[in-house]
Structure formats: structure tokens, C-alpha cells
Amino acid sequence: MPEAPHFEALQAMNPFVAERLSLLDPMERAWHPSDYLPDLSKEDWREQLEALRASAAGLSDAALVSLVGALVTEEALPNYSIALNRIARDETGTCDHPWAKWMRGWTAEENRHGDLLGTYLRLCGRVNMRSVERTTHELIARGFDPRTHPDLYCGLIYTSFQERATSISHANEARLAAAQGDLFLAKICKRIAGDEARHESFYTQAMGEVFRTDPNDAVLAMKTMLRTLIVMPGQFMTDGRDPMLFDHFAVVAQRAGIYTFTDYAQIISHLVKVWGVEKISVSGEAARAQNYLCKQGERYMALAESVDANLKLQPKVSFDWIFGREV
């Protein structure tokens, strides 16, 4: 099998990656889900649990559905590790080159997100956990195609985009939870958003280095990624009842302001800006790609209003995750 495009270029970045392993939480200072959850081994566990459940009592169905969608997406972490290993090439599972170390450290940090959100949702007693679990199970089994194949640069663009998207959506969920009186959940979502922002910084810096060393192919890869909408990691989710579950969840999350089309457009504009796409010096096909990319954020922004209007027209849908209630 031929080597994936840009395999060598990414391998040459190992020293660059080594210098950025500090973007991972140092092991001795790492946070853990238990830091944000009731301690059931303590005498006052009932009071702690009651406090959590009272805090969650005011969450709207839209907030719950958005949160479950975020949880399921986090829980499908094995899918993303498989995808990332195309770049990291941890052939043995314990390789000690920097890309492999980054990938395992990143996986360990991401693993906290699903763990924390899942435990919180179970303890709060407001969602149908079996239905949520079934959705996760099926999503992992169905797999995930980020449409970054075969160019490894596309993988870095995708991760930069997704880490920023999750950072924004967890931060918005934190704000919504606080507004609805759930300060427990607000703290949890804020903590997770902070991790995503650190991860975003890593992938964005790595792709920034690619733009510096190989601007021609970098800009072409970005055009390839943005020619169609970036696929969402949870796109194949189903609870066994609703084959359109992901689309229905996405509508709820947009209406609740958790993750909107405007966010999407702004992420694209942001990446174009931080990678200096406008200023790079390229010619021919790459120059045409550059031109296309510089207008893409604005193009999406212009569509945002009609997307919003359309969202308002969408009928309510019943979610098994919240015992069939409609949102």
C-alpha cells in the first residue's frame, strides 16, 4: 500500500510535536471526573446527590437533548483515536515518538469528557440512560469517516476545526446550564471546554507549521476540506428508533444556541485568519484555492439568517433520550 500523502512531512514534525507535549495536562496536576461529582463514599453522599439533582431540576428538555448529543459524541472517542492514528502511527501501542505520545495523552484527556458527562447525566436522573447507552454503542460500531482520507494534512485541518467547535459548544452549554440554575453542570462544561481549547491550540499550531513549511499543499488540503460541509463526528448516531437522530439533535442544539451555523461560519473565518491564508504567497491552482478559502466564511455568514429562519419552521421531534418528550 502506498504511503498516505504527506506522511513524511508529518514525521518530520516530530520535534515540533515534542515541544508541544506540554499542551497536555501534566499527570500530577490533571483533573479527574471525581473532582466534579458527588463522592459516594462519604457519609453525606445523600446530601451531595440531592444537591446535584436539585441543581439539574431546572434544565430544559433542549438543554438535556443538547447535552446527551454532546455526551454521545464524546463517548465515541474510540472512533476518533482510530482516525488520529493515521497521523500518529502508534504501531505498537506504546511507541515513544512524539506523535504517538500526543495521541495517547490526548485520548486520556478526552476520555474524561464522556466519563464526567455520562456520570453526571446518570446521577441527575433526568434522561433515559439505556437509550443514551444504546446510541453510543451503535455510534461506535457504525464508525466514523471524517472525510480526511487520504491526505494527512486534511486530518490536521479537521481536528483543528472540531476541537474549536466542541470548545464553543461546551462553553455555550455551560452558559445555558448556568442560566437555568445548574451551576454544577456549568462548572463541568466549562472545565471540558477548557480541555478542548488546549487541544485546539495544539492542532491549530501543528497545521500552522504546515502552512509555514508547505503552503501550497496546505492551502489545497484546506480547499478539499471546505469544498463540502465539514462532517460532524456524531453524524451516524441512532437510538434504534429515529434514523434521523443526529439531524434532529443538531436542530435542537442550534435552536438552543449551543452550536449554530453562525458558529460554523465563524470557525472557518477564524482558521483562515490564524493560518494567514490571505497572506501566503502561492500561484496557480493554490492561488485559486486561497481565493476560494478567503471568501468561504463570509459566504456561510450570508446564509446564516436563512438557516435560522428555516430552523424555526422545523417541527418538534420526540426524543427517546428524554422518555419520548418532544423538543
List interacting residues with Fe ion (CB under 5 A): 74, 110, 113, 163, 166, 196, 199
Residues 176-205: b if buried by 16+ CB within 10 A, e if exposed: bbeebebebbbebbbbbbebbbebbbbbbb
From the number of C-beta atoms within 10 Å of its C-beta (0-12, 13-18, 19+), residue 305 rates as exposed
Supply the DSSP string of 22-62, one letter for each residue: GGSPPGGG---GGGGS--TTSTTHHHHHHHHHHHHTT--HH
State the minimum distance, in angstroms, from the CB of residue 311 to Fe ion.
25
Smallest separation (angstroms) from Fe ion to the CB of 4:
22
Closest separation in Å from C-beta 63 to Fe ion: 18
Q: Quick check: is 166 catalytic? A: yes
Q: Compare residues 65 and 165 and give the one whose CB is closer to Fe ion.
A: 165
Q: Is 196 a catalytic residue?
A: yes
Query: What is the closest distance, in whole angstroms, from the C-beta atom of residue 223 to Fe ion in the complex?
Result: 24
Helix, strand, or coil (residue 95): coil
Establish whether 199 is a catalytic residue: yes
Residue nearest to Fe ion as judged by C-beta position = 113
Has 6 been annotated as catalytic?
no
Number of H helices, E strands in the chain: 13, 0
Q: Catalytic site residue 163?
A: yes
Of 109 and 209, the one with the shorter C-beta distance to Fe ion is 109
Q: Among this protein's residues, is 47 annotated catalytic?
A: no
Q: Where are the alpha helices (DSSP H) in 214-316?
A: 215-226, 245-255, 261-274, 285-313
| Shortest Cβ 113–Fe ion spacing (Å) | 4
The residue from 135, 136, 148, 166 that is catalytic is: 166
**Cβ-Cβ contacts under 8 Å for 202 (sequence gap 6 or more):** 20, 23, 102, 106
Is 8 designated active site? no
Least separation, in Å, of the C-beta of 119 and Fe ion? 15
Residue-wise burial string across 119-147, b where 16 or more C-beta atoms lie within 10 A, e elsewhere:
bbbebbebbbeebbebbbebbbeeebebe
Compute the radius of gyration of the chain from its Cα atoms: 20
CB closer to Fe ion, 199 vs 223: 199
Place of cell 481536528: 159
Nearer to Fe ion, 69 or 215 (CB): 69
Specify the residue, 163 or 239, whose C-beta has the smaller distance to Fe ion.
163
**What single string gives the DSSP state of each residue in 122-139?**
HHHT-S-HHHHHHHHHHH
| Whether 200 is catalytic | no
Give me the catalytic one of 75, 90, 173, 195: 195
* Selected catalytic residue, list 61, 75, 109, 110: 110
Active site residue 74: yes
- The residues assigned a catalytic role are 31, 74, 110, 113, 163, 166, 195-196, 199
